[in-house]
Amino acid sequence: MKTIFDEVSYDCSKIVTQSYSTSFSLATKMLAPSIRPDIYNIYGFVRFADEIVDSFHDYDKRKLFDAFEKDMEQALADKISLNPILNAFQYTYHKYEIPHHLVESFMKSMRMDLTKKSYETFEEYREYIYGSADVVGLMCLCVFVKGDKEKYDALKESAMALGSAFQKVNFLRDLKADYEGLNRSYFPNTDLMQLDEVSKKCIVDEIKADFALGYSGIIQLPEQAKFGVYTAYRYYKKLLQKLQSTPPLEIKNTRIRVPNYQKLGLLAQSYVNYKLQLVQ
C-alpha cells in the first residue's frame, strides 16, 4: 500500500530534522500535530539541497545537485518520488499549494553556493538571502495559514524578515566555518579578516530590525503555529545576544552556541509567556 510508503517518507523527513538541527526540531515539536509533519517535510527538502552544496566535498556537487533538482521537479509533476524526502515534500507542496517560484528561488540560491564565494553588493546579498531563507519562511507560512491567501499576504513581509534574521544569525555564528571551510563570505562590504566592533554592530543592528518585523508577524499567526515559531524566535534572539557580547576575534575563531540547558530554559520561559498571553 502506498500509505505505508508515504508514512515512511514522512518519518524520513522527521529524522532528517531531528538529526541535523536540535533547535529547529525542538521548535517544530511545539507546533500543533496537524501541521508538524508538513514542516518536517519542508525542512527535509531544504536540508538535503543545502547538504549537497555544503558537505559533499569528495563528490561532484554540481552533478549531484543537477540530479536532485531534476528529481525534485519530477516529483512535483508526478506527485510521487522514490526519493522519500522528495516524496514527502511534494505532498506538502501540493497540499498547501506552495507557489513554485518559491522553490525555484530556493534552488537558485543553493546553486549559487556551488561557485559564488562572496557577495560584493547589497543586491547580490539580498537575492541570496531571499532564496536561501525568506522563501523557506514563506513555504512554512503556507502551512501555518492552511491556504488562507488573505492571511498569507498579510504576514508575508514579516515571515520573510524572520527568515532573513535566522539566516543572518547563522552567517554571523558560522563565520569561521564558512570562510575557512567553504571559502565563502556573505556579508557585503565587510572584511571578515578585519572584523571589528563597528562592522559587527552594523550586522547586529540589521538583524535586530529583521527580528522586530518578524515578531510583528508571530503575534498574528494562527494558534497552531504561534508557539512553535515563537520558540524558534526566542532561541535565535538568544544566540544573537551571545554573538553581540562576544568579541569579534572570538566569533572569527569559535562557533558560538546556546547550551542545551539554556535552550530548555528558553523553552520553559517561552511556554510561560505563551500561556500568560504575553506573546502579543
Helix/strand/coil for 32? coil
Delimit the domains of the chain by residue range. Answer: 2-275
What's the pLDDT tens digit per position in 137-148? 999 999 999 989
Give me the mean pLDDT over the 2-20 stretch.
Answer: 95
Residue with cell 531544504: 46
**Separation CA 109–CA 99 (nearest Å):** 17
Task: Note the pLDDT tens digit of each residue in 68-98.
Answer: 999 999 999 999 999 999 999 999 999 999 9
Res. 261: pLDDT tops 80: no
Confidence (pTM):
0.90
Given a cut of 90, is residue 136 above it in pLDDT?
Answer: yes
Question: Among 30-44, 91-105, 133-147, 164-178, where is mean pLDDT lowest?
Answer: 164-178
Burial class (CB in 10 A: 0-12, 13-18, 19+), 27: buried
- The DSSP code sequence of 191-247 is -GGG--HHHHHHHHHHHHHHHHHHHHHHTTS-HHHHHHHHHHHHHHHHHHHHHHTS-
Superfamily of domain covering 2-275 = Farnesyl Diphosphate Synthase (1.10.600.10)
CA distances 142 to 26, 33, 78, 118, 187, Å, are: 20, 16, 21, 31, 29
> Contact, 179 vs 228, CB < 8 A?
no
Q: What is the pLDDT of residues 211-223, one digit of tens each?
A: 999 999 999 999 9
For position 91, what pLDDT does the model report? Answer: 98
In terms of phi and psi (left: phi > 0; alpha: psi -120 to 50; beta: otherwise), the region of 126 is: alpha
Q: How confident is the model at residue 274 (pLDDT cuts 50, 70, 90)?
A: low
